[in-house]
Amino acid sequence: MCRALSILVLLLAPFCLRAQQENHASPASQQAPGGPIVAESKTAPRPRPKIGVALEGGGALGLAHIGVLKWFEEHHIPVDYVAGTSMGGLVGGFYAAGMNPDELKALIEGLDWRKILGDRPLYEDLSFRRKEDQRAYPNSLIFGLRQGLSVPAGLNAGHQIGLLIDRVALPYYGLSTFHELPVPFRCVATDLVSGKPYVFKDGSLAVALRATMSIPGAFSPVHDGQTVFVDGGLTNNLPTDVVRQMGADIVIAVHLERAPMEANDLQSIFRVLEQSVRVVIAENEVRGLARADAVVSVPLGEYGSTDYQKNAPIMQRGYEAANDRSRLLAAFALDNANWQEYLRERAARKRTEAPVPQFIKVQGTSENGARDVGRYLKSFQDKPLDREKLDHVLTRLKGMGRYDSAGYRFTEQNGQTGLLVQVVEKSDAPPMFQPAFEVDGSQGGNVDFTMGTRFTFMDVAGFRSEWRTDLLLGNTYGIQTELYRPFRAESRWFFAPHGDASDTTFQIYAKNDPLADYRIYRINIGGDLGYSFGRSSELRVGYEVGSLNTKLRLGAPEIPSVAGRVGQARLHYLLDHTDDPVIPRRGFSAESNFRWFHQSPGANGSFSSMDLKLGYFQPITRPASVFLEGEGGTTFGTTSTGIPQFFLGGPVRLSAYGQNEFHGNQYYLFRAGYLHDLLTLPPFLGKKVYAVGSYEFGKMYGVTTGSEFPNDVAAGLLAETALGPFFIGGSVGDSGHRKWFFQLGRVF
């Protein structure tokens, strides 16, 4: 009641004051007693009450603010001040920067929310060596070792959302205060060191917006000197007091009504933690509601804070909630003339053009790092800024594996305007630790398991050098290590000494029947000279020496048991233009090896071998794609090679056949298939689930047993999980070959 009376008083005050002035003033035609005619008394009209809007935080629910603002504009309700927290701060900041609700709606609907929330660079944007990591360890498990085994400060480093903020905030550099924006603005973050709310009113608009929505655990905190900022919802989720302090006479709060949590919902640690945070936030929301003169409550009980894909109905719900309060809100509306004047004043403060950067400056990394980053940014100097291209370049910088995020803004130095690129180095890495698991259940009654770990150290032998070591346990016990060293920091040429030792169980089956079980022992040391063509291809030539020992443990001697020295030269080329290391849906790939064996156990002399593998992947509809793969190998007619050089049989290499059922020195294999997207997993659990079907056929020359024309049809379900791709299915081939199988690990 008191709130309604205060609004009524504020609205009626100008009219009461004007009537009082008219009753006490003398009209121009009225003569004062005993004196001349008195001129009309003119008093300036009282300014209208200033309206401020406070936008509550709530993740995806905060998109409802766009619908509320749209209703406001359609009904000529001015927003003289706006303040927000978390998503409310983001929406409010974009609106304050001059974006109207229709532009905001189009922006939100056009975003790839999985890309923003996942934040990992696309596979195409990774550097070549990071692509190698993803192919060898196809999961999302990466840990830092800089301060012991640790995880990042947030699941999402905020790179993608940061680039979005930078694009909007870019023209508003050099502001002395956020009052200079088209709509005066404030946003609230939480100072994690002091535990108190922090109101951003000046400085970098991009930093302020990034800080206000840094949900603890989900997004990495924002560091500014000795201050660490996280989401403002912890301390002031509905900043009506901030709007009032800005100068608002009338404060309208936009409240997001969530569904109450039931006791049965609190069955997991995550739900308990979520509800605990909600209790803390709800308490400060009550204080915010009490300070408001008017409240627009948006009922959003059927939506969650991560339902960004449901942005359209959430925004519509905000519009409808404002319309439900139309009788109250209509009192704040302006007539058309005053509304147009309000729009002109707002537009006069809007910045649309960005200056041409006269210099490029890089911050946040070492001198060598800044020089390296600067090489990628030279093309942006002294040219109109292409923001889309710049976003792409900065994302590829993140794909090098050194940086958590990269952003940009304009800066001034010595009377010139330049582009300042701020990179954020990983706080927990390098070194990096990547675990992986491979489970092969393609043979009934025998499941092979291997666990691998990769350790990567950077700059150990100069900038851009890497020392990479793999440890393997399970079906294979082994170690592999390589030192990658470019000739110079900016050079594409490199050399790579390497070594490995392994003890592997090697089995040969006919259909589902085991024929032989070997142990293969290898020790090698060598070196490569190579050239990197970019993030998609690499050429290497090298030589290695070592020893090979094969021992039959069980069964018939399907291949010779040999022991002796190995010496080989190798030319290797790899091209990877696909869009995913696990389940490509677009692009092509090629890999070729040419080897010349100077020595090999069991061989009568030196010989050469070559193998080639090609793949092509093409989407045909939004959920469906097809693929075609072909490979082959030969020893150019040499039959006395000791152990066979090539093997066929097993998952994706004639799936219906026994593991390594075919072996020889010349072969070909073709595979064609269809991939259909069935459902999308939550961002932190994985990517997608697919239905897969394929047809395979091939031939191993010189083999007289088994099928004359090996071919099969395979089908199953493939899930791209956080632990790696998981495939379960079955396959039917000729000559009675058939099996059910499952596999965790690399599929293509």
One fold for both 359-425 and 440-744? no
Average pLDDT (21-39) is 36
How confident is the model over 312-354, as pLDDT tens digits? 999 999 999 999 999 999 999 999 999 999 999 999 999 988 8
State the DSSP H helix or E strand holding residue 163, giving kind and residue range, or none if neither.
helix 159-169
The single residue of 80, 86, 293, 580 carrying the catalytic annotation is 86
pLDDT(734) > 50: yes
- Position 427 scores a pLDDT of 86
- Position 47 scores a pLDDT of 82
- Round the average pLDDT of the chain to a whole number and report it: 90
Question: What are the start-end ranges of the E strands in 603-723?
Answer: 607-619, 624-634, 646-648, 662-664, 666-680, 686-700, 711-721
Least reliable range by pLDDT among 258-267, 385-394, 494-503, 709-718: 258-267
Domain 51-118+158-349 has CATH 3.40.50.1820: no
How confident is the model over 623-659, as pLDDT tens digits? 999 999 999 999 999 999 999 999 999 989 999 999 9
Tell how far CA 695 is from the center of its chain: 34
Q: Read off the pTM.
A: 0.86
pLDDT(473) > 70: yes
- Position 155 scores a pLDDT of 82
How confident is the model over 72-91, as pLDDT tens digits? 999 999 999 999 999 999 99
- Position 151 scores a pLDDT of 76
pLDDT(513) > 60: yes
Parse the chain into domains and list their residue ranges.
Answer: 51-118+158-349, 359-425, 440-744
pLDDT(17) > 60: no
pLDDT(714) > 50: yes
Average pLDDT (121-143) is 93
Nearest partner of 181 among 148, 204, 198, judged by Cα:
204
> Which distant-in-sequence residues (6+ apart) come within 8 Å of 297 by Cβ?
255, 257, 321
What whole-number distance in Å separates Cα of residue 88 and Cα of residue 68? 12
How many residues are given for the chain? 748
What whole-number distance in Å separates Cα of residue 678 and Cα of residue 319? 33
Nearest partner of 427 among 406, 403, 455, judged by Cα:
403
Q: Which CATH number fits domain 359-425: 3.10.20.310, 1.20.1250.20, 3.90.700.10, 3.10.20.30?
A: 3.10.20.310
How confident is the model over 173-184, as pLDDT tens digits? 989 999 999 999
- Position 267 scores a pLDDT of 62
- Position 748 scores a pLDDT of 54
Instruction: Work out the pLDDT band at 388, boundaries 50, 70, 90.
Output: very high
pLDDT(722) > 80: yes
> Contact 733/650 with Cβ under 8 angstroms?
no
Average pLDDT (227-236) is 94
> Which distant-in-sequence residues (6+ apart) come within 8 Å of 21 by Cβ?
41, 43
> Which distant-in-sequence residues (6+ apart) come within 8 Å of 312 by Cβ?
109
- Position 95 scores a pLDDT of 98
pLDDT(715) > 80: yes
- Position 16 scores a pLDDT of 35
Higher pLDDT, 1 or 190: 190
Number of helices and strands in the chain (H, E):
15, 32
> What are 482's strand-pairing partners?
468, 498
- Position 100 scores a pLDDT of 96
How confident is the model over 275-320, as pLDDT tens digits? 666 777 878 889 999 999 999 999 999 998 889 999 999 999 999 9
What whole-number distance in Å separates Cα of residue 473 and Cα of residue 453? 9
What whole-number distance in Å separates Cα of residue 95 and Cα of residue 52? 13
DSSP 174-200: S-S-GGGSSS-EEEEEEETTTTEEEEE
Higher pLDDT, 146 or 497: 497
The single residue of 80, 133, 231, 528 carrying the catalytic annotation is 231
How confident is the model over 92-102, as pLDDT tens digits? 999 999 999 99
What whole-number distance in Å separates Cα of residue 257 and Cα of residue 296? 10
Active site (annotated) includes residue 611: no
Active site (annotated) includes residue 231: yes
- Position 681 scores a pLDDT of 87
Give the Å distances, CA to CA, from 82 to 76, 94, 410, 524: 16, 11, 25, 67
Q: Which CATH number fits domain 440-744: 1.10.150.170, 3.40.50.720, 2.40.160.50, 3.30.1360.120?
A: 2.40.160.50
Alpha helices in 240-383 (DSSP H): 240-246, 269-290, 311-324, 326-329, 336-348, 367-377
- Position 683 scores a pLDDT of 72
Average pLDDT (579-598) is 95
- Position 118 scores a pLDDT of 79
How confident is the model over 141-186, as pLDDT tens digits? 889 998 888 777 788 899 999 999 999 999 999 899 999 999 999 9
Instruction: Work out the pLDDT band at 596, boundaries 50, 70, 90.
Output: very high
